Chains A and B, each alone.
Chain A
Amino acid sequence: MQNNEHKRLDLKEVRAKLEGKRGPQYWRCLEELAETEEFQEFLLDEFPQQARGLMPEMDRRKFLMLSAASLALAGLSGCRFLPARKIVPYVQRPDEIIPGKPLFYASVHPFNGDAIGIIVTSHEGRPTKIEGNPDHPASLGATDAITQASILNLYDPDRAQNVTNLGQISTWDDFLKAARDTLARPGGGAGLRILTGNVTSPTLADQIATLTGRYPGTKWHQYEPVNRDNVYAGTRLLFGAPLNPVYRFDRANVILSLDSNFLLSMPGHVRYAHDFGNARRVRSKAVSTNQPAHNTMNRLYAIDSMPNITGAMADHRIPVRASEVEAVAFALAQQLGVAGVTAPGPLPASVPPQWLSGLVQDLQANRGACVVVPGDHQSPAVHALAHAMNAALGAAGTTVVYTDPVEISPADNMASLRDLVNDMQAGKVTMLLIIGGNPVYDAPVDLNFKDQLTKVPLTAHLGLFDDETSARCRWHLPETHYLEAWSDARAFDGTTSIVQPLIAPLYDNRSAHEVLSELTDTPGTSLDIVQGYWRRTRPSPTFDAFWEKVVHDGLIPGTALPARTPAAGRAAAITPSPPSPSIGGGAGGEYEIAFMPDPTIWDGRFANNGWLQELPKTLSRLVWDNAAFMSFATAEALHLTTEDMVALNYRGQTLPVAVYAMPGHPDNAVTISLGYGRERGGRNAEEAGFNAYALRTSDAPWFGPGLSITKTGGRYFLVGSHMRNSINMAGRDPVQHATLQDFIKNPDFVRNDAEVHDPPLDESFYGDAHTHEHKYEGFGTYAWGMSIDNNVCIGCNACVVACQAENNIPVVGKDQVSRGREMHWLRIDRYFGTGRSNTDYLANPRTYFQPIPCMHCELAPCEPVCPVAATVHSAEGLNMMVYNRCVGTRYCSNNCPYKVRRFNFYKYAAGQPNRMPGNFDLPTIQLVANPEVTIRGRGVMEKCSYCVQRIDMARIEAKKADDGAGREIQDGEVLTACQQACPTNAIVFGNIKDANSQVKKLKDEPQDYSLLGELNTRPRTTYLAKFTNPNTAIDPADSAEAEEVAS
């Protein structure tokens, strides 16, 4: 059966269903509100299609024939001779390697002008897993989804492996000869242009300086599609110099986000999320040194133009169009009394005046403990206003500190690229070396970079993939992955780290350092170059010890950029941004378009990464695609619905794209994420989604008016994980929520509306002998459990990719996901909910995140239904899944109320039914597999194991400790992969038998509740309720409503 046979979502039906009544308090998607047939199927079954599509339809006779044959031959699969295997020991074993024991190396993941300190696990020389470096200020031990997944790029089978000249395989020597010949010609140096991303590597900047010194006239351009141009333009406007704001959310009680996504996409976001989470954590008692008793929360206001997780976490959120944020900022600055600022126009209608006045009072009441955070893509005026407000509120120097830019030589990316294009057009460029990046794909469409490139006689692209830019350049040079070569990089606050490689280049790849060193005729290895640079900068007789230490620790101490006290702001000079001129032909439409970096594949550089493609987008939960997000009302007005194809006409360009009706999106605007619609660059990248760069122009790279939308008819198949694996709550609340004020008044609210169970839950038909206490307590020292704090879960997805990397979870592809067959052991359920009116309900819902691993129920419903005892309980309370016993009846998943069980309908791990990078039959991908976890075969069930391999390893180490005398596993010794990756420490795992363990103390908190506890499954994974901290001056109704729920 075809997947897209399902009836299309009808928005009118949603409206009709909601007419005159309030919908469910918590809901997942519009399909749920419309009660579509497809949603109902997914609600009732985990695998509604069961095995459909696996084999051709057959008649009864053939079915019986095959059944009989399989029964008769069932035992034969066990008959085989032992495979002959070889042992291949080292010739000379490296000193530090103990076979079977992983090693850990500090390094750093340089990414889009930022860097996150990491610790990389290496098994016998092959890096397998990335964790955060607890000592690094941008990480503090945590990571994000992109950093977790970046290791897969190293082993990507589609990586560029050869130097090519016009598509023919060539050699590095040939390229260098061609380059040197060009440079040696008279004036050759003057025609050299180098295009890089935003460089935060001191060594690379130094090398480029050497090169430009050697060839006068050489110019260095920097361009990345997601850049901080507006941040620096704004601070320059206000302070006279470009400055880098570093936020200190640990000191802020009130936070105003002016369309920023500081929890996911701003440099430093992992650290920011950590600080933000700490200030929101509510604890009645101290849980550990880093989780003290805490009964206050910060308050986050968000003025949001795009669906993003920062807005989702906000206590007060208002959706406005991106272009209206500036008007709000002006009004706010005026009300806050920023000297010299008067609002040029009225407040947008979508922002109620009492909302703004309540916010102003709150900010003023928290002088010095509040902060205004402008979004990186907002106009320079918004940035200038935000920082003027920060100065007026006493935030500057406390909750936000300013440093010099992190980039070694900051450049206005758009201006820099435009200069380059102008030079190319004027024929001034004889040789263009593009280091990293993919400008043919991601440069603004009006610059026509692609065509100007043909005017350059010698073009070369150094890149990880043979992509659109490689295809248009004469030479393609394969670049090393960051885990293959030495380099250095600065983090969001300037902290510099050495990028330590874990493995020699897999192919004939070279790093940017090595290529540039050849051009300056000082060839060397990346180690020589980077170490040489630091030796020159820090001459010291003890340099070797210094080097050893900074490489080992993963950062150079004292390199954080010093805080600058900026000169008094010139707030009076802030003028509204000029209206964007319309370029090109075509009548300007009435809609606004906005672009955002994709929450998983970013600007397109991770488009071939299967883990990230299959990772549900933070809010829409779409996989493998982007779409034109628009509000419910806008879609309704245009008679559109999700999956309709439309043509976006914007400034003379047209892009066909699928519509997605996104609750909470501002009206009359369309947001589309970057990075999709690739033409080249690997099997996953190509032909997924729509290329938003086709509409993006250099004068308004983030948003602009004049978009018109035409329905073209036709349907595009979008796949979201929001429907798949929907827990059937049968009318119960999936998440528990209260305002902080109400929680303090009524700490037991999670229990107040609990169902009364008859007979009582602790009574058993079989008498005492079978009650829970007798069944699972009393054995052993350990009872493993997990506590997940919904209040600080920001829905960033780091845990999901960490789990995928740790547990060898295959990638299944869009078609399989659409059938509910994705294999993630851990998913994040995203719920919308609680609006006071039906309009509010769809236009600005509150958002809740709830990570769902296996609950490890003490009375697990999956266990009694397994005919072969393939899922049983361990003495320590783990619900074990035994692959070698499983015969694939899927009864267990049918009986699991949480829908956490995953079934291998195909040999996904071997690339069936389509070959996805991320699967283990590809020789390079095999290298990323965790040797401590079985790679599952076809026909077996699998699910979250609480990372039992980590428990087992900690247990063995504990038993061997003290010269074999043994000790108990200490609290915090076993971190599950999800827990380790989480930036806000929302996930805590441990021994609930230990009264002093963090997890036990968390389970004793009053807001602890079990998901579907009414079913008497006694889950070992429990949740802490979600709180909001609304400002009663704005939202008196909020509190009344919560009371009504609580009572």
Chain B
Amino acid sequence: MAQVFSPIHNTLARLSLLAALALPAVIIVASSAVTRSPYGTNAKVVLDQPVPFSHEHHATELGIDCRYCHTSVETSETAGVPPTQTCMTCHSQIWTNSPLLERVRQSYYTGVPLQWNKLNSVPDFVYFNHSIHINRGINCNVCHGPVQQMMITYKGRYFYMAWCLKCHREPERNIQPDGAKAVFQLYQDYQRGDLKDARERALADGEEYDPTPAEVEKGRQTLEKYHMTATKKQLTDCWTCHR
């Protein structure tokens, strides 16, 4: 009777044993790769919006300050999405017949709000406050990506808790002495093509930046200035964000 298994089957058997061992690891790695990909996180994915609003046009080309629309970013937990009325301050005068703005006009005349698709959100048990981050000089782009370059707005970054904690553990890496002023100066500098250093360039492009030791030292002094050296530990308390 002929041999059923040829020598090659030895190798196959060994390989399939290996594969069986590796399979759970592969599944875990693959599934986490999928969840972390834009497919899972929607990061850098453009969503349809009722009006194709361009931050690039309004903020960079026209130089409108972020706070013209996001009025409560310095004072409240939410930055605020502008009411239709804010759009109409200009668009009752210019582009009054633009078909792209038809839904804005509709909303204004009928009183029915526009419904935007939400890009950035944190889970319900996370209590994020915009105002304190802006007041401590954390730039919009740190979390939202290069907003002033976005033709159509997309989610700049997916918020993992580990990523939040990185900064909450070492606030000196990101904190800025001039607070809100520093945050909004960046966009004026960008508009003028006048970005000062590597940090600003990275910020403007919405990229992760590794501060130099000198910058970290400066950050430490800033913490001192804000009387935060002693209270820094509080930033990583669970109840700072979850309650």
Contacts and interface: CB of A to CB of B under 8 A. Distances in A.
A959 B238 CA distance: 19
A874 B239 contact: yes
A882 interface: yes
Interface stretch (A98-106, A133-141, A672-680, A747-755): A98-106
Contacts of B234: 779-780, 874-876
B77 to A, nearest CB: 4
User: Which applies to chain A's interface (DSSP): helix, strand, loop or mixed?
Assistant: loop
A965 B178 CA distance: 9
B135 A880 contact: no
Interface in B129-157: 129, 131-132, 135-136
Contacts of B227: 781, 966, 968
A86 interface: yes
A966 B75 CA distance: 14
Contact of B85 (A86, A91, A875, A968): A91
Given A875-B237, A934-B125, A86 B115 contact: yes
Contacts of B76: 98-101
Given A93-B83, A780-B231, A880 B239 contact: yes
A85 B122 CA distance: 11
B54 interface: no
A959 B81 CA distance: 24
Contacts of B30: none
A760 B65 CA distance: 63
Interface string B223-234: 001110011011
A88 interface: yes
B242 A884 contact: yes
A79 B118 CA distance: 20
B113 A91 contact: yes
Contacts of A98: 71-72, 75-76, 80
Interface stretch (B12-20, B104-112, B200-208): B104-112
Interface in A743-800: 779-782
A87 interface: yes
Given A874-B238, A876-B237, A960 B131 contact: yes
A91 B112 contact: yes
Contacts of B80: 89, 98-100
Interface string A851-886: 000000000000000000000101110101011110
Interface size class of A (residues with CB under 8 A): 35 or more
B83 A952 contact: no
A183 interface: no
Nearest to B235: A875
A781 B228 CA distance: 9
A782 B227 CA distance: 12
B11 interface: no
Nearest to B115: A86
B121 interface: yes
Interface string A874-912: 111010101111000000000000000000000000000
B185 interface: no
A885 B108 CA distance: 45
Contact of A86 (B107, B116, B179, B237): B116
A945 interface: yes
A932 interface: yes
A82 interface: yes
Interface string A321-357: 0000000000000000000000000000000000000
B5 to A, nearest CB: 34
Interface string A945-956: 100110010001
B113 A948 contact: no
A100 B237 contact: no
B226 A956 contact: no
B83 A779 contact: no
B208 to A, nearest CB: 22
A85 B135 CA distance: 28
Interface residues of B, number: 51
A89 B115 CA distance: 7
Nearest to A961: B135
A92 B83 contact: yes
A890 B102 CA distance: 57
A91 B226 contact: no
Contacts of B75: 98, 101, 960
Contact of B226 (A92, A874, A875, A959): A959
A948 B243 contact: yes
Given A90-B113, A875-B237, A959 B135 contact: yes
A82 B123 CA distance: 10
A477 B169 CA distance: 60
A54 interface: no
Nearest to A85: B118
B27 to A, nearest CB: 11
A74 interface: no
B117 interface: yes
11 contacts: A82-B121, A86-B115, A87-B118, A88-B116, A90-B83, A91-B113, A880-B237, A956-B132, A960-B132, A960-B135, A964-B179
The 10 closest A-B pairs by CB, nearest first: A100-B76, A90-B83, A874-B237, A100-B78, A85-B118, A964-B179, A875-B233, A780-B231, A100-B77, A89-B81
Given A99-B78, A100-B72, A945-B243, 16 more contacts: A79-B35, A86-B117, A88-B114, A90-B83, A91-B83, A98-B80, A99-B76, A779-B233, A875-B231, A878-B239, A884-B123, A933-B243, A964-B136, A964-B179, A964-B180, A966-B227
Interface of A: 79, 81-82, 84-93, 98-101, 779-782, 872, 874-876, 878, 880, 882-885, 932-934, 945, 948-949, 952, 956, 959-960, 964-966, 968
Interface of B: 35, 40-42, 71-72, 75-78, 80-85, 107-108, 111-118, 121, 123-125, 127, 129, 131-132, 135-136, 179-180, 225-227, 230-231, 233-234, 237-240, 242-243
